[in-house]
Amino acid sequence: MNSIGKLRNMTAIYLTHQGKILLLHRHGSKVVDNMWVGAAGGHFEEYELNDAKACVLRELEEELAVTEDMICNLQLRYVSLRWTKGEIRQNYYFFAELKEDIGNKLSSNEGELKWFDIEELSELNMPFSAQYMMEHYVSVGRHNDKLYGGVADGTKVVFIEMPEF
Going residue by residue through the chain (165 aa), what tens digit of pLDDT does each one get? Answer: 555 689 999 999 999 999 999 999 987 666 667 899 999 999 999 999 999 999 999 999 999 999 999 999 999 999 999 999 899 999 999 999 999 878 778 999 889 999 999 999 989 999 999 999 999 999 999 999 999 999 999 999 999 999 999
User: Could you tell me if 16 and 22 are in contact, meaning their C-beta atoms sit under 8 angstroms apart?
Assistant: yes
Fill in the amino acid letter for 43. H
pLDDT at 161: 98
Determine the 3-state secondary structure of 158 from DSSP: strand
pLDDT at 85: 87
Taking CB atoms within 8 Å and a gap of at least 24, the contacts of 67-73 are 69/99, 70/98, 70/99, 70/100, 70/102, 71/15, 71/96, 71/97, 71/98, 71/99, 72/96, 72/97, 72/99, 73/97
pLDDT at 34: 84
pLDDT at 23: 97
pLDDT at 2: 59
pLDDT at 27: 75
- The pTM of the full predicted model, rounded to 2 decimals, is 0.94
